[in-house]
Amino acid sequence: MDEKTLYLALSQINMDQELLIGSTWIDVEVNAGQKSKVFLVITEFNLYLFNKQEGKEGLDIIGIYSFFDIKSLEFIHANCFTLSFADKNFKFFGDDIGYIPDLISKQIHLILLPIEIPIIKGKKAMTSQGKRTTLSKSSVLIRLRGKLKLANRYPPQQFIDDMQAYLKTDPSEFEFNNFKDIDNYIDNILEAVEIEPKIETLNFTGKQVLNHWNNLSIFIRNNTTIQKIVISEEINRGFIDFCSSLAKNANSKLKKIEFKEVTFNTEHIEALDRAIQKHPFIYLSFDKCNFSESAGKLSNLIINNTENSVNLNSIFMSSINLSKSDIQTAVHRLNYVSLRGCCLELASLFENFKNSNLIMADFSSNRCTVPINTSVSFPASLKHLCVNDIMWSSSSLTSIFLATTDCDEYLSLSVANCQMLEDDWNSFFSSIEFCGESKITSLCWANNPLHYKLFKFISNSRNIEYVSFSGCQIPSDGSIQKFISTCNSLKYLDLHGSANYKLGYEAFSLLQRILKSKLEYIDFSNNNLDSRFIPLITKLLESNTIKFFLFDAANFDQNFISDLMKQYKNKIQRSNLKEIDFDAFLRTSTKLFSIDGCNFDIQLYFSDSDLEIPKDSQYNNAPAAYLQGSDYWDVLKIDQLQKRYSNSEKQVISWEFNLPEMKDFDIQSFTKEMEISFELETLSNKLMDYW
């Protein structure tokens, strides 16, 4: 193809508004008239026809035809195809021009689907006619530009650039909040991405879709992989119509709906009720929502649908006043329940607990001050119970611990940040001292008092593998040291410091006992360790048992890191140690070395302990993280690393640091001899996959 001819043609087209797709000289017959040779240019949205000027090198444009106006495209054979518009019919001829109708067909599908016009005919078109097209990220952008052009909308170039950059991240969750002034283009965006197969979650505010609920319904109907939508803030009458559409589309893949800070009235709840009865939802979440006088309706919705539906098995609520509802009747029929901060008195719920079907329950941030029947039992299905930030009576907390000795199956228990009077604590410890064998395999006891009677209770749990004493003041009687060295089943010990309490020199005796224990994973981060601990730490790194050690190197001489790598390179390779985390090392603002795609045998983490994690989220579901198979059992650390590096699941990460003292250290040979992969699985994704 003549580049000069193409240049002459493009000089007459505003290429700032569209992209070039293809071009060629071709024979054409218009309305069954005389055949002539034209230069055909195909762009994103138009066909351009040019004639060669008589006796000159220039081109005359003779027609512009939009893809939006095509009535039909028909493949005749490899050397012929036809295009029909409202007032003109074209028949194109040429040697080996079959790729031209292919290009046109692709653009038609791209910018016009799911509308079944124009009609594409011919044997060659049968493979694509009526089927969804798997789009590349750039194709989604072209489709959006086409939808905007069809609607005569021309957003700022910055909007298009932002969308292009976002699509390059290959998102599985499409968040409308990532774009400025998106409200004016939501219908076009939904049309553009509705056949993008990788979109699994749609996240938006109700205000953004106040006038686009119908477009959202179409999106969910046409997208074959959308599984979850997240709706924030206000909703209006359109939400009722949206629910009606969901009820009619029971075959869509949508299984989960999350509401955040949404105000519901009775009509909204009734509409959602009708949708749930017809649509196979498995998961509903209400976070800080306002139900005013409709809270009772919400309870009825859940009760009715857990009775009649075999699908709905998960309800999550947070910061909702359910004190006057009978929601507790409904939760027993579900498998996964979270009622965090819902103003509930838990005593009556626990008294009927054994008859439930619960697998995971989170009742944190409520109260349990009314005594529970001491014969309370857990259901055989229960695997995870989270009751953090609870105001307890002594007998109530005792009842929970006694119930773990009568379980049919093993379970994880999280009871961080208990609120109880000192006398009640003494009574509690005395009550559990001589209990039988507990079925607890994972215990989060963060920010609570420690007592030798508690260690005795835990030691009776033959399969205990994980304990978290983060933020707990170490007793002076040596009971925790004895526990560490004698509890043979224990593999995971979390003693990371909190805002209330950090380990100081008392950590010395703990590390000495750890050396003699069977522990494999230890977290000593965010504590006041200094260079006095270096000899003990280096001994830990030589251990044949320890696989993961997390500590804070901010108080150490920076030469320690360099010396450690030099001195123990070979020893570490021969040991079982796989992961080291020099927590908070980034705070030194120095540069250690550059790793780009290198593979190590050990994992080196350099994370930032200055990150603030909200108090009420530090310990939520910490035991569940380990028991569900996560390699990283500590929720706080998962959250920190995820926030610091914005990771999704399983990525290889490289860092750059600068440590002048390492100038003589041969990092290249070190990296070649070792293998590292930094894999991070965010807890939220892990839990969602599990549910």
Does residue 64 surpass a pLDDT of 60?
A: yes
Q: What is the mean pLDDT of the chain?
A: 74
Nearest to 376 by CA among 345, 344, 398, 409: 398
- What pLDDT does 363 receive? 93
Q: Is the peptide bond before 623 cis (omega within 30 degrees of 0)?
A: no
Range in 30-34, 196-200, 264-268, 588-592 with the lowest mean pLDDT: 588-592
Binned at pLDDT 50, 70 and 90, residue 560 comes out as: low
- What pLDDT does 647 receive? 31
Quick one: tokens of 96?
């080996």
Helix axes 422-432, 394-403, angle to 10 degrees: 30
Nearest to 404 by CA among 425, 376, 426: 376
- What pLDDT does 296 receive? 58
CA–CA distance, 171 with 94 (Å, rounded to integer) = 42
Residue 361 vs residues 300, 373, 388, 621: alpha-carbon distances, Å: 20, 19, 11, 10
Q: Is the peptide bond before 118 cis (omega within 30 degrees of 0)?
A: yes
Does residue 690 surpass a pLDDT of 50?
A: no
- What pLDDT does 668 receive? 36
The residues spanned by each domain of the chain are 3-125, 496-691
- What pLDDT does 132 receive? 43
The residues near 639 (Cβ < 8 Å, ≥ 6 apart) are 611, 613, 617, 683
CB burial class (10 A; 0-12, 13-18, 19+) of residue 569? middle
Quick one: tokens of 287?
């976070």
The residue that leads in pLDDT, 565 or 358, is 358
Quick one: tokens of 94?
């040429």
CA–CA distance, 62 with 450 (Å, rounded to integer) = 87
CA–CA distance, 435 with 423 (Å, rounded to integer) = 20
- What pLDDT does 500 receive? 83
Kindly report, residue by residue over 441-468, the tens digit of the pLDDT.
Answer: 999 999 999 999 999 999 988 899 999 9
- What pLDDT does 306 receive? 58
Query: How would you classify the pairing of strands 256-260 and 384-386?
Result: unpaired
The residues near 172 (Cβ < 8 Å, ≥ 6 apart) are 198, 199, 200, 201
**For the residues 193-198, what does the mean pLDDT come to?**
71
Nearest to 210 by CA among 180, 184, 246, 245: 184
Binned at pLDDT 50, 70 and 90, residue 382 comes out as: very high
Name the fold adopted by 3-125. Answer: PH-domain like (2.30.29)
Quick one: tokens of 81?
């195809």
The residues near 117 (Cβ < 8 Å, ≥ 6 apart) are 70, 71
- What pLDDT does 589 receive? 25
**In 323-421, which residue ranges form alpha helices assigned H by DSSP?**
327-331, 347-351, 394-403
In degrees and rounded to multiples of 5, residue 345 shows phi and psi of -95, 115
The residue that leads in pLDDT, 576 or 485, is 485
Give me the percent of the chain exceeding a pLDDT of 70: 71
Residue 254 vs residues 202, 504, 525, 685: alpha-carbon distances, Å: 10, 51, 41, 17
Give me the percent of the chain exceeding a pLDDT of 90: 23
**In 422-520, which residue ranges form alpha helices assigned H by DSSP?**
422-432, 452-459, 479-486, 507-515
- What pLDDT does 390 receive? 95
512-516 contacts, C-beta under 8 A, 24 or more apart? 512/481, 512/536, 513/481, 513/482, 513/484, 513/485, 514/484, 514/540, 514/546, 515/539, 515/540, 515/543, 516/485
**For the residues 585-603, what does the mean pLDDT come to?**
28
- What pLDDT does 641 receive? 31
610-613 contacts, C-beta under 8 A, 24 or more apart? 610/584, 611/639, 611/640, 611/643, 611/644, 613/639, 613/640
- What pLDDT does 667 receive? 35
**In 46-175, which residue ranges form alpha helices assigned H by DSSP?**
99-112, 137-150, 157-168
Binned at pLDDT 50, 70 and 90, residue 304 comes out as: low
CA–CA distance, 272 with 239 (Å, rounded to integer) = 9
Helix axes 186-193, 137-150, angle to 10 degrees: 140
Kindly report, residue by residue over 477-497, the tens digit of the pLDDT.
Answer: 999 999 999 999 999 999 988
Kindly report, residue by residue over 128-180, the tens digit of the pLDDT.
Answer: 333 444 455 667 787 788 888 778 888 888 888 888 888 888 888 888 888 87
Three-state DSSP state, 214: helix
Q: Which helix (H) or strand (E) holds 308?
A: helix 295-308
Does residue 389 surpass a pLDDT of 80?
A: yes
Answer left, alpha or beta for residue 37, where phi above 0 means left and psi between -120 and 50 means alpha: beta
* Tokens 């929601």, residue located: 327
Nearest to 356 by CA among 385, 331, 321, 319: 331
CA–CA distance, 255 with 480 (Å, rounded to integer) = 46
**For the residues 655-672, what does the mean pLDDT come to?**
32
The residue that leads in pLDDT, 417 or 131, is 417
* Tokens 């969901």, residue located: 246
Residue 676 vs residues 60, 597, 654: alpha-carbon distances, Å: 62, 9, 10
Residue 270 vs residues 220, 305, 308, 317, 643: alpha-carbon distances, Å: 21, 12, 16, 18, 38
Buried b (16+ CB within 10 A) or exposed e, 401-426: bbbbbebeebbbbbbbbbebeeebbe
- For the ranges 56-70, 162-176, 364-378, 399-413, the maximum mean pLDDT occurs at 399-413
